[in-house]
Structure 1
């Protein structure tokens, strides 16, 4: 069965974006180097350091699907029907949209409950990883005991306020490890198995 792994660029004080959803300096590492890493869809290529590029390519080659919440889906306009990682998208939402504005592109899968979303995402991913967006979705999967790993692209900045990686968890998010530490320019890539 697919592993469910959340991943996010995060400030030292635990935020993944400012209050207006702008990631700001948290995404600076995507342009900190000379290695051109193309993206699917219409997102421009990243320019990563060699260390971050190797880390990123390893992550992307393991993915079979991404599971996101409706907020991120709406903020990105559904990536115009083609996620930058080039994998299918499952959207966890209480209110699936009635139409899709990007005909001729890959349709996302909409699910209204955590079990339904996880079943759809793992069926799509097969033996590959389901990448879980940070925030509410990661928090809900952790609360349900379904999250396997937490990845953090830790950026040396304090945002002071904004949107947290985990939003009001009912219980502490206990992690083991780290199982991987990759230090690069402007970011440290960390992986932590979830302690059960």
Structure 2
């Protein structure tokens, strides 16, 4: 089976969104270059630098399923039913939103905990990786020992406040390996392995 990978864009001071849940500053690198990288969403093409394009293509090709939290799902308005990864999406939630699930959309709502959502995503991903794209879910995966890798796209901005990628670790120390560093335009990609306890 593939890895479970947390993948987020983040400001230099550790925020994945501003206090109003805005992500324009941390996602800006997706439009800073000359190389087009198509997503599975018909309306989204990324314009990134050469190094970021290679990194992004590799990540897209290796992703077999995506895990998100309900808050991210709601803020993204369900990605209009078409997530840019084009893979099955699993939403960790306490309750299924009205109007979901939909037969024509590969989104699964999982209400019985982090272990269950990761197990279901891994089964769907097969030999490919599961991408965790939500800060609270990434933190829960770390606490449960379910995360294999952390990929952070660090952008050159200080937001000062907002939603932190890693915030609530009081009694948990997580040792990492790496990083592998890829410099792009307007972004530095850092890839860390998570050492098992």
The normalised TM-score by structure 2 is: 0.93
Task: Confirm or deny that 1:106 pairs with 2:105.
Answer: yes
Q: Which residue of 1 aligns with 2:175?
A: 174
Kindly report which structure 2 residues correspond to 1:143-182, keeping only aligned pairs within 5 A, or say none.
Answer: 143-170=143-170, 171-178=172-179, 180-182=180-182
Q: Which residue of 1 aligns with 2:126?
A: 126
Structure 2: how far apart are the matches of 1:93 and 1:169? Answer: 21
Conserved 8 A contact 1:41-1:79? no
How far did 1:142 drift?
A: 0.4
Offset of 1:5 from its aligned partner?
A: 0.2
> Which shows bigger deviation, 37-46 or 182-191?
37-46
What is the rounded CA distance, in whole Å, between the counterparts of 1:134 and 1:73 in structure 2? Answer: 9
Instruction: State the partner residue of 2:190.
Output: 190
**After superposition, what is the alpha-carbon deviation per residue over 1:33-88, rounded to whole angstroms, capped at 9, x for unaligned?**
11112222244211111111111000000000000000011111211211101111
Q: Tell me the distance in 2 between the aligned counterparts of 1:173 and 1:14.
A: 16
Three-state SS of the structure 1 residue aligned to 2:47 is strand
Question: How far, CA to CA, are the matches of 1:94 and 1:115 in structure 2?
Answer: 14
**SS of residue matched to 2:182:** strand
TM-score by length of 1: 0.93
**For 2:3 and 2:31, how far apart are their aligned partners in 1?**
29
How many residues align? The count is 194
Partners of 1:134 and 1:153 lie apart in 2 by 14
Is residue 134–residue 166 contact of structure 1 (8 Å, CA) maintained in 2? no
| Structure 1 position 76 matched with structure 2 position 79 | no
Map 1:127-142 → 2, pairs under 5 A:
127-142=127-142
Unaligned runs of 5+ in 2: none
Please give the secondary structure, in 2, of the residue aligned with 1:142: helix
**Which blocks of at least 5 consecutive residues in structure 1 are unaligned?**
none
Stretch of structure 1 that moved more, 164-173 or 127-136: 164-173
Asked if structure 2 preserves the Cα contact closer than 8 Å seen for 1:151 and 1:192, the reply is yes
Q: Conserved in 2, the CA contact under 8 Å of 1:177 and 1:193?
A: yes
Q: Secondary structure of 1:33's match?
A: coil
Distance 2:43 2:23 in 1: 15
Q: Name the CA distance, whole Å, in 2 between partners of 1:160 and 1:42.
A: 34
Q: How does 1:47-66 map to 2 (within 5 A)?
A: 47-66=47-66
How far off is 1:110 after superposition?
1.0
